[in-house]
Chain A
Amino acid sequence: MHRIYFDHNATTPVHPAVADAMSVSLKAEFGNPSSVHHFGQQAKAAVDRARSAVAELIGADPSEVVFTSGGTESDNFAIRGAAEACHRAGRRHLVASAIEHEAVLHTLKALAKLGSTTTTLLTVDETGIVSPDDLRAALRDDTALVSVMHANNEIGTIQPIADLATIAHEAGALFHVDAVQSAGKIPIDVKALGVDLLSISAHKFYGPKGVGALWIKRGLRMLPTSTGGKQERNRRAGTENLTGIVGMGVAAEIARGRMAVDSGRIDGLRDRLESGILQAVPRTTLNGARTPRVSNTTNISFDRVEAESLLIALDLEGIAVSTGSACSSGTLEPSHVLKAMGLPTHRTQNSIRFSLGSASTEADVDRTVAVLPGLVEKLRNLSRAPVRV
């Protein structure tokens, strides 16, 4: 069966050039980057090359880039590190949007549970875009940090980060942006965004899993969240994930080169898929604003269809999509993003996310649009009262 992959926001396939570079590094460079000798120097140089490539992807200076184990660690590091540093200055209030990734939301929850901080979550309207006025109203004298994602993982909407960061800074708060879903999809310039901290993850842009980075604006005081050796300029202890970092560097380089061409093409495919589904399947609704939105994502609710069943039906047809967020067992829960947008239950439980990528084709899109009406009709015919005895 030819399988179609429309779940690039979950993860992307590793680019062959990335895999090659990792394979070469894995075989040839085994040194510990902290070692003084030749082997260490060789490994250190590889890490530094990758650091420069990642820095270029986001318009940063290499010295500001700290490698981590991925987006979740980067988010944790940014929030916990900044919160702890600000705590000493008496700033104990954290603000985030309600449509953040769990890595942010659950970190805020954990900090609030410790009793040292309080939290305000900014809800959004059904466009899925955070309002600058809401942020202004939420800020307090003791706000330490505001965390808002660049592009939302479920609906793809792009947040007005530069405006929000300006507002946060006016109140003396730091600004963290989770750019995991935008890096590699849209240009990022940390200076133009005017933020203090920015998280990215390699496997969302055709790099390997288990490696990411946190950009920390030069001069920003951060407490490390793990302690040990003096790696990453004393900011993140532990021997570097050399192979992963090498892969991330190559992935960043490729992403920077291909972004303009790729996103234009994927944008066209996404629109073809979106309008195709909305036309071919009755009682479907697009979730979130059409613009501004990353080029690869569309999120659609299918009235009277349990998303869980439609996802399985599509997978049995060889089409991989996603819905909501998976819990520990792999079952699905209603999307907290759509809930935060104020959508009624029947829309939060019936939504499917399609996220395209560089390997997606027009044929993939057309096959999906062709298959969906039949699957949906079958599921709708059965959503009646269950057999009773």
Chain B
Amino acid sequence: MRIVVAMSGGVDSSVAAALLAGQGADVVGLSMQLYDQSGEQAFGSCCTLDDLHDARRVADAIGIPHYILNFEQQFQETVVSNFVREYVAGRTPLPCAHCNSELKFATLLDRARGLGAEQVATGHYARVDQAPDGRWLLKRSVDPAKDQSYFLFSLTQDQLARAVFPVGALSKVAVRAEATRLGLGVADKPDSQEICFVPDGDYASFVAAQAPAVARAGAIVDQRGDVLGSHGGVHRFTVGQRKGLGVSSSAPLYVLKIEAETGRITVGSRNALDETALTASRVNWVSIDAPPGWIRVAAQIRHRHRAATARVRSLGDGRAECVFDEPQSAITPGQAVVFYDDDVVIGGGWID
């Protein structure tokens, strides 16, 4: 059976490809070129020209065909434009999740099927399993420090049925050791940035370059509404942010709320960031159907958040309500909330 491996040139997808090829699968390596590589406008830290060359080299080393697909337009239209739109709307986007569900397991999967492959493998640290009733399950990887199931919550049953994560059952240490053993030449490459197309981490400049109108001055106010200062645009802020506020205060101040329409940024003390409840939209239920009543879960609200005990219920219309047992700091609109039962993803949605 033919299987496509999405190869970024990094160690994880390289080992994923090598493992599948080693099992005797008919493996085809595909790399996505996501940005203009002509030189002047090149940006990004993942899938740069060097990474594409690495992917090609690895494919050659393990003896599989490899092709580079030009996905610049699709990447811009789905992932980058959403990233910019979210910041303009005063939210904090999660582009990796969009890239997974709308590019890797959508456009790339379609391309793979056109080439006679029914599955797409990636280098994600997560596991796919099938329940006795045939339902596809998404699980955390065995390496909790590397787990990426949070970024995969929005995969549908159809997408999970076609997803293969060969390194999900390995630790990062084991993956690097495997790359060394196989002589893939990528064993010591550093882990990629969380947001590959803004390698310098300067999201504000990136957003302003794509949507200049966002750089509109606004007020920084305290919880009473008193103006403490001004700022150069809502895209410069994320909930929970402390640095770069440009206002002085005796106690440290944190961003509590971003209002895109008025341009108002509300700041306050760290305690004021604590909240117990959230609602989410475009919820994808993975291991169960939408639960009409409360169920117990562990809910994770950002990539580096330790999932906290909570109850959750469906509100219908793709929405859900989640109430934590203990207050959580900096629940951030635009990020995902993912519900777990131990290591099984129950579902997840986008925080309102």
Closest to B72 in A: A331
Given B37, B101, B113, which contacts A329 in the complex, CB threshold below 8 Å?
Answer: B37
Contact for B114 among A328, A329, A378, A389, CB less than 8 A: A378
A329 to B70, CA, bound (A): 9
| Residue among B33, B70, B109 having the largest count of chain A Cβ atoms under 10 Å | B70
Please state if A382 and B101 are interface contacts (CB–CB under 8 Å). Answer: no
Are A313 and B49 in contact, CB atoms less than 8 angstroms apart? no
Q: Complex formed: what's the CA distance from A331 to B282 in Å?
A: 34
Q: Are A308 and B107 in contact (CB under 8 A)?
A: no
- The smallest C-beta distance from A245 to any residue of chain B, in angstroms, reads 31
CB neighbours of B38 from chain A (8 A): 327-328
B19 at the interface (CB under 8 A from A): no
Partner of B111, one of A309, A315, A316, A389: A309
Q: How many A-B residue pairs have CB under 8 A?
A: 73
Q: Which residue of A lies closest to B154 (CB)?
A: A389
* A316 with B116, Cβ < 8 A, contacts A327-B38, A331-B68, A388-B102 known: yes
Of the listed stretches B155-163, B206-214, B265-273, name the one at the interface; the rest are far from the partner chain. Answer: B155-163
A330-B31 Cα distance, complex, nearest whole Å: 11
Q: Point out the residue from B67, B69, B110 that lies within 8 Å of A386, measured CB to CB.
A: B110
Say if the beta carbon of B80 comes within 8 Å of chain A: no
Q: Which residues of B contact A386 (CB under 8 A)?
A: 102, 106-107, 109-110
Answer whether residue A26 sits at the interface, using C-beta atoms and an 8 A cutoff: no
Q: Are B65 and A316 in contact (CB under 8 A)?
A: yes
Closest Cβ neighbor of B113 among chain A residues? A382
Judge whether A312 and B105 touch: CB under 8 Å: no
Check B69–A387 contact: CB distance below 8 A.
no
Query: How distant is the Cα of A48 from the Cα of B116 in the complex, in angstroms?
Result: 54
A323 to chain B, nearest CB (A): 11
Q: Is the CB of A309 within 8 A of B115?
A: yes
Interface centre among B33, B105, B154 (most CB of A within 10 A): B33
B299 CB within 8 Å of chain A = no
A382 with B282: CB separation less than 8 A: no
Contacts of B39 in A (CB 8 A): 328
- For residue B116, which residue of chain A has the nearest CB? A378
**Selected contact of B67 from candidates A312, A327, A328, CB within 8 Å:** A312
Interface string of A356-389 (1 = CB under 8 A from B): 0000000000000000000000110011101111
Given A333-B70, A386-B106, A388-B102, A316-B33 contact (CB < 8 Å): no
Nearest CB of chain B from residue A259's CB, rounded to whole Å: 35
Distance of A282 from chain B, by nearest CB (Å) = 17
Please, how many residues of chain A have a CB less than 8 angstroms from a CB on the other chain? Answer: 23
Answer whether A387 and B109 are a contact pair too, CB < 8 Å, given A309-B115, A331-B33: yes
Cβ-defined contact, A315 with B65, below 8 A: yes
Check: B346 CB closer than 8 A to any chain A CB.
Answer: no
Report which of B70, B107, B155 forms a contact with A389, defined as CB distance below 8 A.
B155
Cβ contact of A308, chosen from B70, B101, B109, cutoff 8 A: B70
Interface members, chain A 270-313 (any B CB < 8 Å): 306, 308-309, 312-313
Which one of A315, A331, A378, A382 lies within 8 Å of B69 (CB-CB)?
A331
Q: Which residues on the B side are within 8 Å of A315 (C-beta)?
A: 65, 67
If the complex has contacts A328-B37, A329-B33, A332-B70, are A388 and B106 also in contact, measured as CB distance less than 8 A?
yes
User: Is the CB–CB distance between B33 and A313 below 8 Å?
Assistant: no
Q: Across the interface, which residues of B come within 8 angstroms of A379, CB to CB?
A: 114
- CB-CB < 8 A to A308: which residues of B? 69-70
* B345 close to chain A: CB less than 8 A: no
Residues 242-267 of A at the B interface (beta carbon under 8 Å) = none
CA distance A327 to B49 in the complex (A): 11
| Residues of B with C-beta under 8 A to A306 | 111
Using a CB-CB cutoff of 8 Å, which residues 271-297 of chain B contact chain A? 282, 284
Question: B220 interface residue, CB < 8 Å from A?
Answer: no
Q: List 19 A-B contacts (CB under 8 A).
A: A308-B70, A313-B116, A316-B28, A316-B115, A327-B38, A328-B37, A328-B38, A329-B33, A329-B68, A330-B68, A331-B33, A333-B70, A378-B113, A382-B110, A386-B102, A386-B109, A386-B110, A387-B110, A387-B158
Known: A308-B69, A313-B115, A389-B284. 12 other contacts (CB 8 A): A308-B70, A312-B67, A315-B65, A328-B39, A329-B33, A329-B37, A331-B70, A382-B113, A386-B106, A387-B105, A387-B109, A387-B156
